[in-house]
C-alpha cells in the first residue's frame, strides 16, 4: 500500500470528517496541501456558526417544552391556595382600613366633645390603628408570607410547594385575624345585612 506523494490526515485534526462518514485514514492530502484544502475553504468558518444555531435552537425548544409542561400544573395547584389566602388577607386589611376611615369621619363629625378632646382621643386611637395597619401590610405582603421558599420539599418531608406556602402563610394570616377580630366583624356585618333586608 504505497501512498506515494500523499500523507494521511492527522487523527486529532478537528476539521477531519466532522460527520464521521469516511472510514479512518481514507482521506489523504497531497504534499504541500493544507487541511482546509481537504475539507473545503468555507466549512471551517460555517461550523461554529452552525453549532451555535443548533445549540440555541435546542435550548429554546427545551425551555419552551419544560415551561409548557410545568407552569400550568404549578398554576393549577397554587391558585386555590393563593385565592383563599388573598380573601382572608383582604378581609383583615379591609377591616383595618374601615376602622381608620371610621375614626377619621367620627373625629370630624362629633359635636358632643370639645375640639381638643376630639383631636386627642381620635389621634391616639387613629395612630394606634394606623401603626397596626402599617405592620399588618408588611407582615401580610407576598414577600413576607412566601419569601424564602424554594419549592423543594423540606428535609424528610414530601410536601408539595403549594402546601408549604399554605402552611407558612396560614400562621401569619391566622395571627392577624385574631388581632383584628375578624369573626366579630363578620358577625356585625351579617347582623347589619339582616337588619337591612
pLDDT digits (tens, 9 = 90+) for 119-150: 555 567 778 889 999 999 999 998 888 887 76
Q: Long-range contacts for 13-16 (Cβ within 8 Å, ≥24 apart)?
A: 15/39, 15/43, 15/44
Report if pTM > 0.75: no
* Contact by Cβ (8 Å): 17, 27: yes
* Contact by Cβ (8 Å): 133, 100: yes
Coil, helix or strand at residue 147: coil
Coil, helix or strand at residue 132: helix
pLDDT interval class at 32 (50, 70, 90) = low
Dump pLDDT digits (tens) for 55-85: 999 999 988 888 888 888 888 888 999 999 9
**Segment 38-65 mean pLDDT:** 78
Q: Chain-centre distance of CA 55, in angstroms?
A: 26
* Contact by Cβ (8 Å): 38, 29: yes
* Contact by Cβ (8 Å): 39, 15: yes
The three grid cell numbers given for residue 132, joined into one nine-digit string = 397596626
Instruction: From residue 6, give the alpha-carbon distance in Å to each of 15, 38, 41, 42.
Output: 18, 12, 20, 23
Of 103, 93, 106, nearest in space to 128 by CA: 103
Q: Which residues make beta-bridge pairs with 33?
A: none
pLDDT interval class at 192 (50, 70, 90) = confident
Which distant-in-sequence residues (6+ apart) come within 8 Å of 176 by Cβ?
Answer: 89, 92, 136, 139, 140
Say how far apart CA 176 and CA 89 lie, in whole Å.
Answer: 8
Concatenating the DSSP letter of every residue in 132-146 gives HHHHHHHHTSHHHHH
Domain boundary assignment for the chain: 79-148+158-181
Dump pLDDT digits (tens) for 80-106: 999 999 999 999 999 999 888 888 887
The three grid cell numbers given for residue 47, joined into one nine-digit string = 461550523
Say how far apart CA 187 and CA 114 lie, in whole Å.
Answer: 33
Amino acid at each position: 500500500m504505497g501512498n506515494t506523494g500523499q500523507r494521511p490526515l492527522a487523527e486529532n485534526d478537528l476539521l477531519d470528517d466532522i460527520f464521521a462518514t469516511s472510514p479512518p485514514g481514507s482521506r489523504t492530502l497531497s504534499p504541500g496541501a493544507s487541511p482546509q484544502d481537504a475539507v473545503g475553504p468555507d466549512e471551517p468558518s460555517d461550523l461554529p456558526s452552525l453549532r451555535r444555531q443548533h445549540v440555541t435552537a435546542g435550548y429554546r425548544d427545551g425551555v419552551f417544552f419544560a415551561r409548557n409542561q410545568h407552569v400550568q400544573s404549578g398554576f393549577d395547584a397554587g391558585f386555590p391556595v393563593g385565592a383563599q389566602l388573598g380573601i382572608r388577607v383582604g378581609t383583615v386589611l379591609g377591616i383595618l382600613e374601615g376602622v381608620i376611615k371610621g375614626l377619621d369621619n367620627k373625629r370630624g363629625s362629633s359635636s358632643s366633645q370639645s375640639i381638643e378632646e376630639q383631636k386627642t382621643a381620635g389621634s391616639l386611637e387613629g395612630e394606634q390603628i394606623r401603626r397596626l395597619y402599617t405592620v399588618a401590610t408588611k407582615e401580610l405582603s407576598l414577600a413576607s408570607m412566601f419569601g424564602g421558599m424554594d419549592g423543594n420539599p423540606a428535609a424528610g418531608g414530601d410536601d408539595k410547594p403549594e402546601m408549604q406556602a399554605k402552611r407558612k402563610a396560614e400562621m401569619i394570616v391566622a395571627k392577624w385575624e385574631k388581632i383584628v377580630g375578624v369573626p366579630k366583624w363578620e358577625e356585625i356585618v351579617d347582623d347589619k345585612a339582616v337588619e337591612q333586608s
